[in-house]
Amino acid sequence: MLDADFFRRWMTAAAASVDRAADRLTELDSPIGDADHGSNLRRGFTAVRAALEEESPDTPGAVLTLAGRRLVSTVGGASGPLYGMLLRRTGKALGDAAEVSEEQFAGALRVGVDAVRALGGAAPGDKTMIDALAPAVDALGDSFAAARSAALAGAEATTPLRARKGRASYLGERSVGHQDPGAASAALLVAALAEVAGE
Amino acid sequence: MSEGGQVGIVLVSHSAEVAASVAALAKALAGGGAAVPVAVAGGTEDGGFGTSAGLVAGAAAAVDRGAGVAVLADLGSAVLTVRALLAEGDELPPGTRLVDAPFVEGAVAAVVTAAAGADLAAVEAAAGEAYTYRKV
């Protein structure tokens, strides 16, 4: 069973991972974006970490809902509402249970990913965070480690794609050959999940 | 929807200057003196380019007169932030809508229509119609 502490540790691990990778994320965002993805996410997850310490939410749903709300209000780029929606809808789907099973979490995360798809209108293959998140949710039924591998493979597979959403889509064919920064950061979040699960 | 008050207009842009200038232009073209509540949410809270959910929520609250609020956004995170706030249901005043319209032309149409006392549906329709004004 997964409790509030597990989800707090996930967010803390995600914050540390985003912090370490911020320069790489911004570098990925330079040729096809506006070179702010790393710094935006670092600001967002730093705020998430502070909010979790201040408010100490005591259920898995409350941890993720609070984290999502902070991301929406602090990131300043498109990843704010998108990751914010992911965590808020996942948290809302978990309800107010003190502990949730891995199956319940996988189901809730699917609700969150569906909400991200509805918000941004992206489908798999559009060269967005969905290309990492969708396969991760599918693999989460097996294990956290399988979800991590699926997210990473999905992120790497965005390199040859032509962007169909977001600022990179203005570049058309010139977006080919660059990994999508949103898919790369989504893979980091899923990897942080596997890390705190000890897988 | 309309209960006497005027429809409020919120302009959300990645740039504070763009939001403020478009608001000034729209108000000028609406006759200047017309008392349409217009507020802007431009850029991030620290003055950079981007979108602030807090500024959007504050602007919407500032122009809410009970007749609904029409929000126009420029691109990317501006659109997604408004949609995310609307999806949560409780962060913007009741009767707030993201209007599907070109930013400059839509803002002018929305402010002019609201100044004439139109309700939210009419303001939304006028702004959306701006997509059909061909230039060549």
Res B4: pLDDT: 67
Which distant-in-sequence residues (6+ apart) come within 8 Å of A136 by Cβ?
A: A147, A148, A150, A151, A154, A186, A187, A190
Print pLDDT tens along chain A (199 aa): 999 999 999 999 999 999 999 999 999 988 888 888 999 999 999 999 999 999 999 999 999 999 999 999 999 889 999 999 999 999 999 999 999 999 999 999 999 999 999 999 999 999 999 999 999 999 999 999 999 999 999 999 999 999 998 888 888 888 899 999 999 999 999 999 999 999 8
Quote the percentage of chain B above a pLDDT of 90. 85
Domain covering A2-196 assigned CATH 1.25.40.340 in the classification: yes
Q: Which domain does B46 fall in, by range? A: 8-131
Answer yes or no: is B1 within a domain: no
* Residue B18 Cα, gap to closest chain A Cα (Å): 17
What the block records as the tokens of A60 is 């898995």
How high is the pLDDT of residue B33? Answer: 52
pLDDT score for A76? 86
Interface of A with B in 130-159 (CB under 8 A): none
Averaged over B84-92, what is the pLDDT?
89
Q: Rounded distance, CA B49 to CA A85, Å?
A: 21
Confidence of residue B88 (pLDDT cuts 50, 70, 90): confident
What gap in Å lies between CA A98 and CA A93, rounded to an integer? 13
Q: Which domain CATH number covers B97? A: 3.40.50.510
Structural domain total, chain B: 1
pLDDT of residue A170: 87
What's the pLDDT tens digit per position in B12-27? Answer: 999 999 999 999 999 9
Chain A neighbors of B47, CB-CB under 8 A: none
Q: Do B53 and A166 touch (CB under 8 A)?
A: no
| Domain-located, residue B2 | no
Give the DSSP H/E element, type plus range, for residue B38. strand B38-42
Query: Which of B51, B80, B86 best tests the A interface by mutation, with the highest count of A CBs <10 A?
Result: B80
